[in-house]
């Protein structure tokens, strides 16, 4: 017979990185282009089916605005899992994510499963199935110094990406986190976050 385990999960990260949008995608398979900022926190639930069991996620979607920072411990206390979100088009949001990870590793349940999610990947790989960057175009080919996020001599944005995948993934590995690049807009990588976390939650 199938057992349903409750798993308390918290989402943390800078304002507007897409925490609520990731939850909305996971829970309702929807996307809202002009989602309003979360006030305080929102609570949602969703089942997650693995081969051998079903988990029921109890999700606390926290508010990223700085004025709500002090509320966070109420939501990560006793959490078995955390998703720390940054925006791949905003380098400072990865720095904020790192401070959340440090806070969780210091203050939360020592067995907490933490996933790092680089969201808004659709802005970096438009109309591409692959997570790898598109080949450089001819006009950019001889600009050896071009890096993601910079503009070319013509003033065209080369890429909106400000956080290289390798850099974030190396950090995640070093800090012992699961790592994903996601798009709440297209759904890429979203279910995977919750499925991979579920696999790490011990059967009691
Ligand atoms: P707070 O509640 O203030 O902490 O923000 P949040 O992290 O919950 O962000 P939210 O989900 O409200 O998204 C902020 C904005 O980014 C909204 O306009 C979303 O539509 C947009 N957004 C979220 N995820 C994505 C994504 O994957 N791709 C794109 N292009 N836009 C996204
Ligand atoms: Mg929100």
Per-residue pLDDT, averaged over 141-167, amounts to 66
Ligand lying nearest the CA atom of residue 42: 2
Supply the residue whose CA is at minimum distance from atom 5 of ligand 1.
Answer: 16
Is residue 13 exposed (0-12), middle (13-18) or buried (19+ Cβ within 10 Å)?
buried
- Full-model pTM: 0.87
Cα–Cα distance for residue pair 131/147, rounded to 1 Å: 17
State which of 21, 22, 39, 64 you would mutate to test the pocket of ligand 1, scoring each by most atoms of that ligand within 8 A of its C-beta: 21
Q: Is the CB of 18 under 6 A from ligand 1?
A: yes
What would the pLDDT profile of 161-174 be if each residue is shown by its tens digit? 999 999 999 999 99
Ligand lying nearest the CA atom of residue 122: 1
Q: Is the CB of 93 under 6 A from ligand 1?
A: no
What average pLDDT does the chain have?
Answer: 88
What would the pLDDT profile of 45-98 be if each residue is shown by its tens digit? 999 999 989 999 999 999 999 999 999 999 999 999 999 999 999 999 999 999
pLDDT for 159 equals 78
Place of tokens 């606390």: 60
Cα–Cα distance for residue pair 2/164, rounded to 1 Å: 41
Cα–Cα distance for residue pair 143/114, rounded to 1 Å: 39
What would the pLDDT profile of 29-48 be if each residue is shown by its tens digit? 999 999 999 999 999 999 99
Q: Is the CB of 96 under 6 A from ligand 1?
A: no
Place of tokens 């996933």: 115
Q: Is the CB of 16 under 6 A from ligand 1?
A: yes
Sign of CA dihedral 164, 167, 170, 172: negative
Backbone angles phi, psi at 181, to 5 degrees: -110, 135
Tell whether ipTM is more than 0.90: yes
């Amino acid at each position: 017979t199938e057992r349903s385990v409750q798993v308390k999960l918290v989402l943390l990260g800078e304002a507007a990185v897409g925490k609520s949008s990731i939850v909305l995608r996971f829970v309702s398979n929807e996307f809202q282009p002009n989602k309003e900022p979360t006030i305080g926190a929102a609570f949602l639930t969703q089942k997650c089916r693995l081969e051998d069991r079903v988990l029921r996620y109890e999700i606390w979607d926290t508010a990223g605005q700085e004025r709500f920072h002090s509320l966070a411990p109420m939501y990560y206390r006793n959490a078995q899992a955390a998703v720390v979100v940054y925006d791949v088009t905003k380098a400072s949001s990865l720095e904020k994510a790192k401070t959340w990870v440090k806070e969780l590793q210091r203050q939360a349940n020592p067995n907490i499963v933490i996933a790092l999610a680089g969201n808004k990947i659709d802005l970096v790989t438009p109309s591409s199935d692959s997570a790898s960057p598109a080949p450089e175009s001819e006009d950019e080919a001889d600009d050896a110094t071009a890096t993601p996020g910079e503009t070319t001599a013509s003033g065209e944005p080369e890429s909106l990406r400000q956080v290289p995948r390798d850099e974030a993934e190396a950090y995640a590995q070093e800090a012992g986190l699961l790592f994903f690049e996601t798009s709440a807009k297209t759904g890429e990588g979203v279910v995977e976050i919750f499925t991979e976390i579920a696999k790490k939650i011990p059967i009691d």
